Amino acid sequence: MMRRVKIKKYRVILLLLLLFLIYFSHFTSSQSSSLTKITINIPGELPQYNETGVQKWISGIWHYVNITLNSNIQKLTLVLYKGSNIPVTHDITNYYEWEYDNGNWVDIEYGEYI
């Protein structure tokens, strides 16, 4: 009797785990299906990468940001920040945020022209 309860418990856990994986794999794939590539580089220079292969962004220097999509979108937000966690206080040395909305780019954080 105890063995049946244990088997039933594992089946329920396995079923919940499978449902969780199916739900989140569908959610993330549908959210990122339009994005195919992002490149960031200083004009006239090759892209630079850190030791983990992530492209570098050097604050205070003009950069080209190329976002390649495989479908048309109406809204896109690009957020870049220094470090692995979003800074508590934002300034031009550690945080940038832009939003594309139906053909217009807006600097959300500082209101500068882009």
Please tell me the pTM assigned to this model: 0.55
Question: What's the chain's Rg over C-alpha atoms?
Answer: 21
For 14-37, letters b (16+ CB in 10 Å) and e give eeeeeeeeeeeeeeeeeeeeeeee
18: amino acid identity, one letter: L
On the question of pLDDT at 17 being above 80, the answer is no
Query: Averaged over 30-53, what is the pLDDT?
Result: 76
Give the model's pLDDT for residue 8: 56
**Between residues 67 and 18, which one has the greater pLDDT?**
67
What value does the mean pLDDT of the chain take? 73
